[in-house]
Amino acid sequence: MKGLRTVKAEIGLMNLKARCWLRKPGATMRCGRFTIRINDAHNFYILYKDIFLRRIYYFKAMRPQPLILDCGSNIGVSIIYFKHLYPEARIVGFEPDPRVFPYLEKNVASNGLRGVRMIQAALSSKEGRSDFFSDGKYGGGLSRHLVTDESQDWVRAKVESVRLRDYLHEPVDFLKINIEGAECEVLEDSEDRLRQVQEMIIEYHHLPGLPRNLHHILEILHRQGFEYLINDFDSETNSGVEPPFTLAPESRYFLLIYAKRLA
């Protein structure tokens, strides 16, 4: 029976990919009972597969109106998933990309999502305006977190920067962080307020030129009383973790760090 379910899941993914690849930017796709306007077919496919099918952001809320901080909201698939789980959830979404943020606004508005606050800003360790590079799809980040030759063909814009710690003034049920290499900086800046958070998931980026700070992130979680586990997505999303293993300065891979306060 398990083998049959696996085959059906694989067929479902193949069909989803085929449907996505026919869609152009600005087209709409069904996302459960919601509708999403997409900015890129591949981006939507990966988001839907990982978030709705593999459920990488699932958590069991202890109250009917959980507070969720969504750092790196992109076009809003994660926010829609959280509203699918908990219709009464209060959500604060952060998305700095000026070419992606309009899709986020449209998808929240067109689905009538209430209790969602969208902030067009990057998460950083300091407030102000910063240079932000973007491919207009799913890649982007503050200039100091990117390698120059990776961002030469991207668009540069000035964006607002805010500190996560300023949003940790009350209990947070779930914190999601996918901020393209700034995760350690933001967690370090917010460490003394992380005990407000019950559960979190962090996407760790191992990319050329970025500091190797996975151990620092895990030390922060340990100091603040979190248990954690590490996941590597799947080989389609994250081909850099497939065996045979190798590491070089140009290696690229991603890890999910799930953390929960057990005491």
* Dihedral-angle region of residue 74 (phi above 0 means left; psi in -120 to 50 means alpha; beta otherwise): left
pLDDT of residue 3: 58
Q: Where does residue 76 rank: exposed (0-12), middle (13-18), buried (19+ CB within 10 A)?
A: buried
> Rounded mean pLDDT of 228-240?
92
Rounded to whole angstroms, the Cα distance separating 71 from 86 reads 18
Quick: pLDDT tens for 147-204: 544 545 678 889 999 999 999 999 999 999 999 889 999 999 999 999 999 999 999 9
Question: Measured on CA atoms in the order 67, 73, 76, 78, is the torsion positive or negative?
Answer: negative
Q: Where are the domains of the chain?
A: 61-261
- The closest of 70, 83, 137, 72 to 109, measured between CA atoms, is 83
Backbone angles phi, psi at 230, to 5 degrees: -120, 135
pLDDT of residue 151: 47
Other CB atoms closer than 10 Å to residue 11's CB: what's the count? Answer: 10
Query: For the chain, what is the largest distance between any 2 Cα atoms, rounded to a whole number of angstroms?
Result: 55
Rounded to whole angstroms, the Cα distance separating 26 from 203 reads 27
- The closest of 34, 237, 37, 39 to 138, measured between CA atoms, is 39
Supply 40's token pair.
Answer: 């890129």
Backbone angles phi, psi at 259, to 5 degrees: -130, 145
Higher-pLDDT residue of 66, 7: 66
Provide the b/e sequence for 232-260 (b: ≥16 CB within 10 Å).
ebeeebbebbeeeeeeeeeeebbbbbbbb
- Listed in sequence order, the residues at least 6 apart from 119 whose beta carbon sits closer than 8 Å to its beta carbon are 92, 93, 94, 95, 162
pLDDT of residue 257: 98
Backbone angles phi, psi at 123, to 5 degrees: -85, 135
pLDDT of residue 8: 62
- Listed in sequence order, the residues at least 6 apart from 87 whose beta carbon sits closer than 8 Å to its beta carbon are none
Q: Which residue has the tokens 């959280």?
A: 82
Supply 158's token pair.
Answer: 């000035």
Higher-pLDDT residue of 136, 236: 236
Higher-pLDDT residue of 145, 238: 238
Helices (H) and strands (E) in the chain, counts: 7, 13
Choosing among 3.90.1150.10, 3.40.50.150, 3.30.2310.20, 1.10.340.30, the CATH entry for 61-261 is: 3.40.50.150
Which residues sit opposite 155 in a β-bridge? 134
Higher-pLDDT residue of 156, 52: 52
> Rounded mean pLDDT of 208-237?
94
Per the prediction, the chain carries an average pLDDT of: 90
β-strands 197-206, 253-261 pairing: antiparallel
